Structure 1
Amino acid sequence: MNPTATPSIATQVAPPPAYLTISIVNSHIGAISTFHQLQTKPNGVVAPSPWGGVPVPGTVACGSSASMAVPTNWAGIVLVSDASHKITDNDSGIEANFVSWGPDFENGNAIGTVDVTFVGGFSVPIVCSCAGKVQTGCNKDLFKLGTCPSAVTEGACANPLRGDLGVTQANPFFAPCQHAAYAYEEDHAAVSAGECQEGHINCCVGTACPPNPDQPA
């Protein structure tokens, strides 16, 4: 998610728990690899680490899951790839933050915000849910629906529109998931903000995951 974008948030949100738990469930056809990065704020301050420290790059077996708990003011991204390939910045990503908007907004409560991003590129399908409802992401395997516009490197298709803030339409390869997942820089319809205040975001990897009602038919 573009860090300068302000997502639309419901007028009323519930007070969150002390920690937000993010779980990744592997429903992919094989093992997946994950890589966690903390985000740096515009003032140069690095977001706080998850409880227990920043998770090391890891592998999640098919049918298994991995979780982390993050404190208020955490912001980060988890890149996900098929475990047969190295993680690159062209992989599918789960972006989330648990940031307090201050006393003038929602009484200072931290807001659980999440999106699935293919702005860097696409490697595996991902959808994220809260309270059993899909909030963001796309369960389509784009490799089976179109031709990557660039060379596929380490199992990931690089998005040619990365860094272009002027476009309003996805590249054809990424279009089957636009507005459900970030298919280009300004695709802000993909963000879920204030819908995950019960404290748990559940992200599912693979085409077997439930579809996002907002993904193109």
Structure 2
Amino acid sequence: MALVPELCLTDPEAGIAFLHRVFGFAADGSTLTLGSQTLRVRRVDTAQSHGRIDHIALAVPDIDASLARLLAGGASLDSAVTPNGVGEIAEFWGDGIRYVYLQGPEAARIELCQRNAGPVAEAGHDHIGIPCRDLARTQRFFEDQGAVLVAAVDLPRAEGTVPVRFLTYAGGMIELYAPAGAGLREPGLWSRLLVEGLAGERVGPDGLILAPL
């Protein structure tokens, strides 16, 4: 895939081993691949928290079986998002999705997704989740890079309506959303998006970075 999220870890060797052992990623140095999902791992000196890119999401054929296998293999639920396990968003993709968040290396967020209509045959890329203070501005930034809007959903929630936009970009899918109280974040665990064919670095709203792959 030409759109590759970069994961910043203080112990990349342990993180790569965890992603291989638990999630099934195949490793080639700092590059890891699971079906259609590719990611890169980079060493940093200081432990990171959740940042401008909040999570990557993996499409799975059977979320219940995948979750059971991953938990048995050493993964853990992300208690800040889905402490009770699998949830559902009925408004996405016509017939809705089922989803759950797990903690990857150093608590990096990894979501599992299963579409209720037409689940995938094998695990791979679903989307990359990016919270926004100004969703329209961030959407324009990506569209200026060639991204195409494919779905727009406004989710009514107790804390207020959450607008969500899905765009295809560089062979992958990005999810832009504006949760209540979204603010400027540090680069974080998922630090940048590496893009094949990009001529130079691009810096978007909230300091979001696109860099050449």
Q: What's the TM-score, normalizing by structure 2?
A: 0.29
Structure having the larger proportion of residues in helix:
2
Larger strand proportion, structure 1 or 2?
Answer: 2
